[in-house]
Every structure is written in C-alpha cells, then in structure tokens.
Amino acid sequence: MFDISTYTKRREQLKKQISKGIALFLGNNESPMNYRANTYRYRQDSTFLYFFGINEPGFAAVIDFESGEEIIFGNDLDIDAIIWTGLRPSIAEKAALCGVKDTRPLNKLESYLSQNANRPVHFLPPYRHDNSLLIEKLLGIKVEFQKNYISVPLIKAVVALRSVKEQAEIEALEEAMKMAWHMHTSGMKMIKPGLYEREIHGVMEGIALSFGGAVSFPIILTVNGETLHNHYHGNKMQAGDLLLIDAGVEAPNHYCTDHTRTYPVSGSYSPKQREIYELVLKANKEAIEMIRPDITFREIHLHAATVIAEGLKDLGLMQGNTKEAVNQGAHALFFPHGLGHMMGLDVHDMEDLGENHVGYDKETPRSSQFGTGFLRFGKKLKEGFVLTVEPGIYFIPALIDKWKNENKFKEFINYDKVESYRTFGGIRIEDDILVTANSHKILGQMIPKEVDEIENILKNQP
Amino acid sequence: MFDISTYTKRREQLKKQISKGIALFLGNNESPMNYRANTYRYRQDSTFLYFFGINEPGFAAVIDFESGEEIIFGNDLDIDAIIWTGLRPSIAEKAALCGVKDTRPLNKLESYLSQNANRPVHFLPPYRHDNSLLIEKLLGIKVEFQKNYISVPLIKAVVALRSVKEQAEIEALEEAMKMAWHMHTSGMKMIKPGLYEREIHGVMEGIALSFGGAVSFPIILTVNGETLHNHYHGNKMQAGDLLLIDAGVEAPNHYCTDHTRTYPVSGSYSPKQREIYELVLKANKEAIEMIRPDITFREIHLHAATVIAEGLKDLGLMQGNTKEAVNQGAHALFFPHGLGHMMGLDVHDMEDLGENHVGYDKETPRSSQFGTGFLRFGKKLKEGFVLTVEPGIYFIPALIDKWKNENKFKEFINYDKVESYRTFGGIRIEDDILVTANSHKILGQMIPKEVDEIENILKNQP
C-alpha cells in the first residue's frame, strides 16, 4: 500500500521544513509485561512507521537536514538468532523498502552522534522510558530535563505532514473501517440481559486480532457509561441498562478507527433514555454536517454543546439563556469532554507530540474552561484532516454533587430535575470523519446509530 | 480466594528469612503503547500481588525486617479524578485487605528511605524501565549498575516461598485450567484448510478476555512450529500442515496456564507426522510419569531426551549409542530447548528474579551444553512445585545446515535421512503438572492429546 516513493516523498517534504542539524528518530522496542522476555504486543512508534515503514523493534534513524543524508541503524540477526526466529530480511533489505540506502549497526548510532556533536540534534518527546534512557545515553540529557530540549520545529514539521492524510492513508483508514464495522456490529448483536460485559469485550477484541490487527486502545464497554475512564468489564448486563461501547481497531496497516455506540440492553430504549439518546444523536449529526475546510473545530464543538444545552433545557434539566450557559461552560456538567480528536496512525493522532501542537495554534489557542479546555483539537480544519465527532451526555454523581454543593451555575442548571437522572448513566455517539475539499465524508459503512435501526436489530436477536 | 491471613502469613514467613534491613517492593505502573495515555493492559508485578494482592498501578511497599513494620505507599484519588473514574476504595481500605495497617502517600517513600539511609535496602531486579528509573531516584544507584546491587537474599527468600504453591494457589490454578481447556478446545475445533492462523488466534485470545482474564504470554499459533520464537499469524493453513498452538491464559485471579498441542490441519496426521507425534507424546507422558518429590527435573529432562533420541534412532534419523548421544547433546538438533519451567503467577514463574535462582542450586548447577543449557529449571522437585512438561521434535533448517557444515555429531546423526525431513516442521506437546506428596497431578481436564482422539474430533467438524 505504501511504496518506496511514499516514504521518500514524506522525508523530502520534511527536509524542506528544517534547514539545520540532524533529526533523530527512535523506533519502539519490545515492552516488558511481568518479566523482560514476556512482552506486550509489539507496537512501533507511529512517526517511525510514517517515515520509514519498518515495524520491528531495535531500530533508529537519522536525517541530516544539511547534507540530506538518511541512515537507518539496526542489527542483522546472527546465526544463533536465525535458529530460533527463522531467516528474515536483512536491515539493508528492510531499509530499501522505504528508499534508505545507508544502513549501519545500532551500536554505531552513538559514535555517529558524537561525530556530529557540534550540530543541533532534533528529537521528538519520548513517551517510553527505555527511549528516555537511550536519549540520556546518546545525548547526555538527563531523563527529567528532556522535555526542555525536545525540538519544537521538528514537532511542527511532523504534525504538518501527518495531519493531512494522503490518498493511500485514506484507503488504509477505509480498510480499517471495514474491520471496525464487523467488530462493532458483532458486539452489538450479542447484547442481552444476563450476559457479562467481558463476554462481548472478548469477542470484539478477538475480532480485531482475527483480522491480524488489534484494538487501537483498551475497549470501553460498560453499563456505567458516565464513568469516562472505565476499563472494567465485570458487570452483568440487566434489562434497563444502557451499554456504552467505545472501541477501535488498529488494522494490520497500522491505521486506527474509533467509534462509540450506546445500546439499550433490553432491546429498546426507555422513553427517558430515548430522549437523551436522540439529543446526543442530533449533536453528533449536526456537528458532522458542519465539517468542512476553514471552520475551526472549536466552533463545531461549541455548536454541539449548544444543541445539548438547548435540548436539556427542553427537558427541564437546564434553564436560562442557552448561549450564555454555553459561553460560561454550564453544559459541561453533562458534556464535560471535547467533541473529538485527530485520528490516523494513532487513535489520538500524534498525542505523543503534544496535544497543543496538534490541535491548536496562535489563531486558535486552547481554552482553560472546564469542559471546552478538554477539547484536544480546536483549530481550523483543512482538507485531509481526519477527526472523531463524539458528543455525549452523562450524569456523573461526583460532578453533580460537587457543582451542586458549590451552587455552581444554578441559574443554568435545574439541580432538582438533575437528581431524577442521577442513576441514568451516560450516552455517547462517535463517528470518524474525513475533511474533503469542500465538505466532509463519514469514513466506513455506518454502524447503526438510529434508534429504530438499533431496536430492530436488537429485537431480532435469538 | 486469598484472604487477609494468606497475605499476612506470607509476609511473616518472609520476615523469618531475613534479619537486617528493609525490603522495598515496587508495583508496576501503566505501560505506554504509542503515547503516554494509551496504555497496554495493566499487569501488576507478581511478587507485589503475592505479598500485597493490590492489582493497581502506583503502589510501592516496604517491610522492615528489624521492627516488623509494613507500609504501603500509594495515592488516594482526588475529587477531580473521582469525576472520571468513579468512587473507588481508599488506599487504606485496599491495604486492609492484605492486612497492612500503615499507608502513606507515594511521595513519602523517598523521605522514608532517606531516613533509613544507614540500613540495607533489599530490592528485586527491576524489569521495567520506569521502575529502574525510580530506583535510581530513590536509592541513587544508576540504572546500568543496579544489577550489581539487587538483593540475592531477598530473591532467595521470595523464590523459596513462591515456589511452593499453597492450597488456595492450587485452586486458583485449577480455576485457570478450566479457561485454558475451553480456549484450547475451541481453537482446535476451528482448524481446517483455508483458514488463516490469525483467525484461530483471535478467537482463542478473545476467549481468554471473555473470562475477564488475558493470555499469559503472546500466543504461538503457527504452521511453522520449527521456528521456536514465532508470533506471526498470517499464514493460510493447508492440508498437510501441522498447526502448533502454544497458549495459556492468565485468569482473573492472575494465575497462569501454559499448554501446547500440535494438530494436523487436514484432520489426520500423515504416517510420517504420526510417527514423530507418537514419539513426542511418549516423551511427554514418560516425563510426567516420573514427576515426584526429590527427583531432579534435569534427570527427567534427560530421560525425555533419551526417549526422543531412541525413537529417532528407530526411525533412522539418529544412530550410534543413544546414551552417549544424549550425554554429548546430539539430541538437541531435534529437541533444542528445555523440558519445562515453573509456573504460577508468571507463566515462567519468577523469571524476573533470575532463572538460575529459580531453577538451580549448588547441588544442581546449570549445564552449559547447547540444548540442556536452555533448561530453565533443573533442580530437585518438592511438593507444591508446579512445572510444565513440554518436549518437542523440530526440524530447523538453519540448525541442520549449521551442524551439517560443521560435521557435528556425525556419529550420532544421519544427516542424509534428516534431509528428507527438512520441511517437516515441528511438534510440541505440553501439560502443566503439580508435584504432590509422593507423586504428581496433571492440572486441569486433559486437552485432547491422543492421536485417535484428536483425529476423531477434527474429522467431525462441520
């Protein structure tokens, strides 16, 4: 899917953006679980995949912005290793697939950098501790000080490139979407009272693995959708519960998906659940409809917040001037997170490079308000961007109690009414959207999200 | 399953074995995948689980061998965190479940150790880089020198305790075995030509997750069983192939399983496959039969090697004096790995503490011979030990070529005959065994391993 010219072109474009020094890219190594040899599933660094395509531990690479030189560092297997792993392509053969001709053993990286010690070395923020230690060894910068020496110009150059998805990347995303559709619809069809959350979780993650991929993040699958950071799957589902499933695949091509649906365990939404569901769905659809180049994503986020606040006012949960309520952030009691984030090789694309570098700029700085401040991406959209749109409404007991005790926003929130929703839970609906030349495209076949559609499917299960 | 008295008793027993200084136990933290917030499945350190039972990131503990004092360090959630995660038990409540009364915030660990700077601090070998960095911060020992300062007395004391499984641990293992049986037999029943390895892999790992557990190590599931370090699942299975499946679960109680079976993709073994299979099965059964207290596991390993060498001689692949061939290590061309390893909270139990501390002692030192030297456990067995028994026969082209070119063991190996098995692949059969007072017990319901039994099941698939 990605040929030599793709990688060569990406590196050429990168070179145009920085004129001095050397870029150092560290690939990821194996990550130990409960002892060194028992490792988690291998995951290469996404930026390393983007520029070099090599999906194996033990690699590093440099790009010299002055000479144009590109070198991949890695070790060929010796005969003893070949006995256990079988014959594998050489480092030179692997490097040739991304158009890099110069390859050297990994232990030459240190001397290479020493020889260039009088020049700036650009490196990206390390997020794995072994790579932090390697940077300390290579560059002499102690782990705790490294955040002060990461290269903002390199971050900005990488973000500029990776943010705009190429045609081949869009195809890779569409390929991943097929797996996501299968994973989500299979999970949905299992829902029934008496089943444990973990039983659906196992089947869904198993499907991602069956395709030769994996999940792009730990699946959220819970009858307690109001607990936003929830990876517990031990509850038995009961009629009357809502089941929130937020799950994505990482396809074998390494591109990610991210969808959320919220289903009624009994097969039909109660009237109260349906009202809130329809409201979240309205926010989801209207937000998607607004996506096009040159609009800021923050504007869309605030529109979704307004739809939610207006709808909650109709239901008697909010009150007063909706515009003012959203301005001040009162909607965040119910919708405390951001509308969405970029997606690509990472499910939160490039989050390792810093959310503000990816999602904000001088023109659109990040808000510090509770709620809108959690929006990961706020800036102007461009053709080729891929974002999630995932509004939600939650009734979070700890947050309700906190605000109520503080008398916070009592002009906008009808706390008496809110009490009657205390055990409601939470609803989120999420899709993945590509920004096109004049508009947008929803990626993948739609996973059912209309009330009637979902109820028809769930009612017709055996 | 494990109550307060279990944990208290374990720590009391530990305290009897060391008289001076403080033991420092670091729990595991979250492990980042492709950015800091996107983490792998959380896995606590097994020794931390064994003594404290707390299965969450962000904990450390100390035991003072002189005063008997026990302290758990960890942070309670603040209100902001509770909003996202829901209300959780406090550190004090968690510590109470393992009988520890003294709890303190994590940031007090450094000052606690400083106050005790004139006393020895015993710590176990760190295998995660963040914990290496923490030890550097706490004790001032640079990461690369830490291996020189790990506490051998603490390692030996922990190994002595964890090696002998308590009744509750045996019950926990039996619980895990039920999941393993379901996982393996479900995988087996899927086998048919035309399916990809990854499709069975996905279902098997999905089953482990469905039980609320996980796999205890990355599943090996391959038509190339001769490649021992193989985690590729992209091959399409064809009639005539052997499919080797080496997989284990980690149950929600954290105890592990580890079984290998080798099936014929077509539904029946060819005569050539059947001969080798029966030979591996004989080695597996005779080795299991020998297990009892006071016999060394190396003796059993060498018996399995002898069964294999004798059988290969009957097939014309080996020749000469079998006893001498095994003494010199000629069987290792076909059986290059060890017979098995300890199992418990880790699938290779306590491998982080050092294989030689777990598997060898002065009475039984480790061999340096190719093959037998890879045996992870060689010493005398005791009641309560749990080990795997996993003989195998493989035809590894790179190893055959190497030895043949070196004229190695040509008096014992018929290289001409070996050539006719070059593409045979590999067979391994593995079970998990408990050493009992006078004998042994195979853990769990037997996953089918007799030829007729397997062929009957595979032939009757739709």
Per-residue pLDDT tens over the stretch A390-401: 999 999 999 999
| pLDDT over 90 at B82, yes or no | no
Nearest to B133 among A143, A196, A203 (CB): A143
In this structure, are A100 and A19 located in the same domain?
yes
What ranges in A18-126 are assigned the alpha helix state H? 46-52, 79-85, 91-96, 109-115
Helix (H, G, I), strand (E, B), or coil: what is residue B61? strand
Q: Which residues of A touch B212 (CB under 8 A)?
A: 196, 198, 233-234
In this structure, are B144 and B293 located in the same domain?
no
Segment A205-228 shows an average pLDDT of 97
Q: How far apart are the first and last CA of chain A?
A: 40
- The CATH number given to whatever domain includes residue B38 is 3.40.350.10
* Chosen domain end from A106, A133, A163: A163
| Spatial separation of the C-alpha atoms in residues B5 and B7, rounded to whole Å | 6
Segment A315-342 shows an average pLDDT of 98
Q: How confident is the model at residue A242 (pLDDT cuts 50, 70, 90)?
A: very high
* Radius of gyration, CA atoms only, chain B: 24
What ranges in A18-146 are assigned the alpha helix state H? 46-52, 79-85, 91-96, 109-115, 129-139
Give residue-wise pLDDT tens across range B437-451: 999 999 999 999 999
Nearest to A40 among B40, B87, B345 (CB): B40
Q: Where are the beta strands (DSSP E) in B70-218?
A: 70-73, 102-104, 121-123, 214-215
A354 to chain B: closest CA residue: B35
Segment A162-166 shows an average pLDDT of 98
In this structure, are A301 and A196 located in the same domain?
yes
Segment A199-224 shows an average pLDDT of 98
* Chosen domain end from B113, B145, B162: B162
In this structure, are A277 and A358 located in the same domain?
yes
| CA angle (B459, B460, B462) in 5-degree steps | 105
Contact assessment for residue B44 and residue B32, using Cβ atoms and an 8 Å cutoff: no
Contact assessment for residue A37 and residue A8, using Cβ atoms and an 8 Å cutoff: no
The reply to whether the predicted model has a pTM over 0.90 is yes
φ, ψ (nearest 5 deg) of residue A61 = -150, 155
| Spatial separation of the C-alpha atoms in residues B243 and B266, rounded to whole Å | 10
- Average of per-residue pLDDT values in chain A: 97
How distant is the Cα of B311 from the closest Cα of chain A, in angstroms?
Answer: 23
| Spatial separation of the C-alpha atoms in residues A139 and A52, rounded to whole Å | 22
In this structure, are A111 and A183 located in the same domain?
no
Q: Tell me if A352 and B230 make a contact (CB, 8 A cut-off).
A: no
In this structure, are A313 and A418 located in the same domain?
yes
| pLDDT over 70 at A158, yes or no | yes
Residue appearing with tokens 């009757």: B460
How distant is the Cα of B436 from the closest Cα of chain A, in angstroms?
Answer: 27
In this structure, are B446 and B349 located in the same domain?
yes
Q: Which one of B55, B83, B146, B348 makes the best mutation probe of the A interface by having the most chain A beta carbons within 10 Å? A: B83
Q: Which residues of A touch B348 (CB under 8 A)?
A: 35, 37-38
Give residue-wise pLDDT tens across range B324-375: 999 999 999 999 999 999 999 999 999 999 999 999 999 999 999 999 999 9
Q: Tell me if B203 and A210 make a contact (CB, 8 A cut-off).
A: yes
Number of domain units in chain B:
2
Q: How confident is the model at residue A229 (pLDDT cuts 50, 70, 90)?
A: confident
Which pLDDT score, from 0 to 100, does residue A271 have? 98
B44 to chain A: closest CA residue: A34
Residue B393's identity, in one-letter code, is I
Q: Tell me if B202 and A224 make a contact (CB, 8 A cut-off).
A: no
Write out the residue range of the structural domain in which residue A329 sits: 167-459
Q: Tell me if B32 and A229 make a contact (CB, 8 A cut-off).
A: no
In this structure, are A220 and A150 located in the same domain?
no
Give residue-wise pLDDT tens across range A268-280: 999 999 999 999 9
Which pLDDT score, from 0 to 100, does residue B462 have? 67
Q: Which one of A26, A29, A30, A35 makes the best mutation probe of the B interface by having the most chain B beta carbons within 10 Å? A: A35
How distant is the Cα of B255 from the closest Cα of chain A, in angstroms?
Answer: 12
In this structure, are A376 and A284 located in the same domain?
yes
In this structure, are A130 and A205 located in the same domain?
no
* Chosen domain end from B115, B132, B162: B162
In this structure, are B339 and B391 located in the same domain?
yes
Q: Tell me if A217 and B41 make a contact (CB, 8 A cut-off).
A: no
Q: Tell me if B36 and A352 make a contact (CB, 8 A cut-off).
A: yes
Helix (H, G, I), strand (E, B), or coil: what is residue B447? coil
Which pLDDT score, from 0 to 100, does residue A117 have? 95
In this structure, are A396 and A444 located in the same domain?
yes
As separate numbers, helices (DSSP H) first and strands (DSSP E) second, chain B gives 16, 17
- The CATH number given to whatever domain includes residue A380 is 3.90.230.10
Helix (H, G, I), strand (E, B), or coil: what is residue A428? strand
| Spatial separation of the C-alpha atoms in residues B85 and B74, rounded to whole Å | 17
How distant is the Cα of A438 from the closest Cα of chain B, in angstroms?
Answer: 32
| Spatial separation of the C-alpha atoms in residues A213 and B328, rounded to whole Å | 44
